[in-house]
A and B are shown apart, each in its own frame.
Chain A
Amino acid sequence: MSKLTGAQILMEMLKEEGVDTIFGYPGGAVIDIYDELQKTDINHYLVRHEQGAVHAADGYARASGGIGVCLVTSGPGATNTVTGIASAYMDSIPMVIFTGQVPTKLIGNDAFQEVDIVGITRPCTKHNYLVSDVKDLARTVKEAFHIAKSGRPGPVLVDLPKDVVNATTNFSPPGKVSLRSYNPTYEPNIKQLKKVVSLIRTAKKPVIFSGGGVVLSKAHEELTAFARKGQIPVTSTLMGLGAFPGTDPLWLGMLGMHGTYRANMAVTDCDLLISVGVRFDDRVTGKTDEFASQAKVVQIDIDPTSIQKNIQVSVPVVGDCKISLRQLNELLEGLDGPDLAEDRQEWLAQIDEWKRTTPLAYKQEKDIIKPQYVIERLYELTNGEAVITTEVGQNQMWAAQYYHFSEPGRFITSGGLGVMGFGLPAAIGAQVGAPEHLVVDVAGDGSIQMNIQEMATAIQYNLPVKVVILNNCFLGMVRQWQELFYEKRYASTRFQHTPDFVKLAEAYGAKGLRAKTPDEVEKVLSEGLAHPGAVIMDFVVEQEECVYPMVPAGAPIKNMLLV
Chain B
Amino acid sequence: MTERRHLLSILVDNEPGVLSRIVGLFSGRGYNIESLCVAETMDPAISRITMTTRGNPMIIEQIKKQLNKLINVLKVFDLTGQEYVQREMVLIKVTAVQQHRAEILRITDIFRGQVVDVGQEHFTIKITGDDEKISALLNLLRPFGIREIARTGSIALFREKK
Instruction: Report A's interface with B, CB cutoff 8 A.
Output: 118-119, 122-123, 126-127, 130, 147, 179-182, 303-305, 308-309
- A123 and B58 in contact (CB under 8 A), knowing A181-B72, A181-B73? no
Report B-chain residues with C-beta under 8 Å of the C-beta of A119.
17, 20
**Docked-complex contact A304 and B68, CB < 8 angstroms:** yes
Task: Tell which of A118, A179, A181, A304 has the most Cβ of chain B within 10 Å.
Answer: A181
Count residues on chain B whose CB falls below 8 Å from chain A CBs: 19
Q: Could you say which residues of chain A place their CB within 8 Å of the CB of B28?
A: 123
A181→B13 contact, CB < 8 A:
yes
Establish whether residues A181 and B58, one from each chain, have CB atoms under 8 Å apart when the complex forms: no
Inter-chain CA distance A182–B72, complex, in Å, is 8
A306 closest partner in B (C-beta): B65
- Nearest CB of A to B59, in Å: 10
Q: Which residue of chain B has the shortest Cβ distance to A180 in the bound complex? A: B74
Known A122-B17, A122-B21, A308-B61: A147·B66 in contact at CB below 8 Å: no
> Taking each of A118, A119, A122, which has the highest tally of chain B beta carbons within 10 Å of its own beta carbon?
A122
Contacts of A181 in B (CB 8 A): 13, 71-75
What is the interface of chain B, defined by CB distance below 8 A to chain A? Answer: 13, 17, 20-21, 24-25, 28, 58, 61-62, 65-66, 68-69, 71-75
Question: Are A305's CB and B73's CB within 8 A?
Answer: no
17 A-B residue pairings within 8 Å (CB atoms) = A118-B17, A122-B17, A122-B20, A122-B24, A123-B24, A123-B25, A130-B17, A179-B71, A180-B74, A181-B13, A181-B71, A181-B72, A181-B73, A181-B74, A182-B71, A303-B69, A309-B62
Distance (whole angstroms) from the CB of B46 to the closest CB of chain A: 10
**Nearest CB of chain B from residue A124's CB, rounded to whole Å:** 9
Please measure, in the bound complex, the distance between the C-alpha atom of A304 and the C-alpha atom of B76, giving whole angstroms. Answer: 14
Instruction: List residues of chain B with CB within 8 A of the CB of A127.
Output: 71
CB distance from A248 to the nearest CB of B (A): 34
Q: How far is the CA of A309 from the CA of B65 in the complex (A)?
A: 10
Given A123-B28, A181-B13, A304–B65 Cβ distance below 8 Å?
Answer: yes
- Contact B61 A147, beta carbon cutoff 8 Å: no
A140 → chain B closest CB, angstroms: 12
Task: Please indicate which of the listed interface residues A130, A305, A309 has the most CB atoms of chain B within 10 Å of its own CB.
Answer: A305
Residues from chain A with Cβ under 8 Å of B71 in the complex: 126-127, 147, 179, 181-182
Contacts of B73 in A (CB 8 A): 181
Q: How far is the CA of A119 from the CA of B18 in the complex (A)?
A: 11
Q: Which of B13, B66, B72, B74 contacts A305 (CB 8 A)?
A: B66
Closest 8 CB pairs of A and B: A305-B65, A127-B71, A181-B74, A304-B65, A123-B28, A182-B71, A305-B66, A305-B69
